[in-house]
Structure 1
Amino acid sequence: MMKRIRPVRGLVMGLAITGLIALLPAQLLALPKAGQPVPAFKVVTTAGQPVSLENYRGYVLVIDFFATWCEPCRMSIPHLVKMNQKYGKQGLQVLGMSADEDGERVVKSFVAEHHINYPVALAGDPVTEGFGVRSVPVMIVIDKKGKVAEVFRGFSDEIGSSMEVLVKKLLAEK
């Protein structure tokens, strides 16, 4: 007599979740595009400060979605630190959004080790999902009116240069 093979619950659940994701509108999973308003967010920085998009109205903002274990993220951070030093007094703000799941202690240690000179918060699933972030690093440059100017995925010297050119242009706008 042959035993009846029963489907593995994990496989069934995985297929069900995949099916549900396929039914979601694509814009819920997509990064915002240039010209679109920035999704609303509320986070608390590792220093305990509550932060929302409203804190950055009138500023050029770079939101950096990163993780402490991500090598390209580690390459982008010195560039963001330098840009913050160079353009901070002209109206640039940088906000780090950690996608780490290991907790605030790991992120705080990383911030200190890398001499990060801008606020960093744990992004959490609602924020990463709201922005459509599925991998890191993702840097979103936002203009003074709260609209997405550009989205940069990954990091290289070319991306860093392009971002800096864009930031200078946005800072010069009224």
Structure 2
Amino acid sequence: MGLVRLLRRHAPALLVLLILFPAAAHTVPLAGQPSPPFKAITTTGQEVSLDTYRGHVLLLDFFATWCIPCRVSVPHVVEMKLKYGRQGLQVLGLSADDDGGEAFRSFVNELRINYPLAPASQAVQSAFGIRSLPVMLVIDSRGVVREIYRNFNDEVGRSMELLIRRLLTEQ
């Protein structure tokens, strides 16, 4: 009887917690854990998944055209693809934009994005715990998340590049 009374008394608080912290939030990947599986269709119509990138170092970049910090991070990601693409770095940009309209095309052209892009479904965003942008994950050739970078600044850029260089030499 005591448990029922306790649940009734705290039901509103429990409901708020369930709404604010859904079960998916508990499955968010951490560095050192396997990446959640994902599937997406790129803007060129190619289906990609985590398995597509097995055997490669993958930089997974969650961004949006309306995200001001993304305008700073995306050029760095473009540069990383130029510098390390021939050594095996793969990059996939996952857009949190609602559509691929003119604003999206303009963003891609203006920033000269040189890697595949795909819309990030709500399921994919939830699986990766995306609550703000930009978020970049470095995933090793075995599919393990090696680091998660939230937001972007020069220090994040340097750290990401050092990790990618190290992982590429380990392959």
TM-score bin, normalised by smaller chain: 0.7 to 0.9
| Aligned residue runs from structure 1 range 81-160, under 5 A | 81-101=78-98, 103-105=99-101, 106-160=103-157
Deviation digits for residues 97-118 of structure 1, max 9, x if unmatched? 11112x0123233212211000
Per the normalisation by structure 1, the TM-score is 0.84
Q: Is the 8 A contact 1:94 1:118 kept in 2?
A: yes
How does 1:3-152 map onto structure 2 within 5 Å?
18-22=16-20, 24-25=22-23, 26-28=25-27, 30=28, 32-101=29-98, 103-105=99-101, 106-152=103-149
2 CA distance for matches of 1:17 and 1:60?
41
**SS state of the match for residue 97, structure 1?**
strand
Aligned partners of 1:18, 1:67: CA distance in 2, in Å?
Answer: 29
Q: Residues 161 and 24 of structure 1: is their aligned pair in 2 closer, same or farther, counting only changes over 3 Å?
A: same
How many residues matched? 157
Identity rate of aligned residues, in percent? 55
Inter-CA distance 23–149: structure 2 relative to 1 (3 Å threshold): closer
1:33 is aligned with what amino acid?
A: L
Q: Structure 2: how far apart are the matches of 1:120 and 1:110?
A: 12
- SS of match in other structure, 1:40: coil
Runs of 5+ unmatched residues, structure 1: 1-14
Shift of the 23–165 alpha-carbon distance from structure 1 to 2, 3 Å rule, reads closer
The two structures have a TM-score, normalised by structure 2, of 0.86
Task: Look up the equivalent residue of 2:26 and give its one-letter code.
Answer: Q
Shift of 1:42: 0.6
Cα distance in 2 for residues equivalent to 1:163 and 1:104: 28
Aligned to 2:8: none
Q: How many angstroms does 1:48 deviate by? A: 1.3
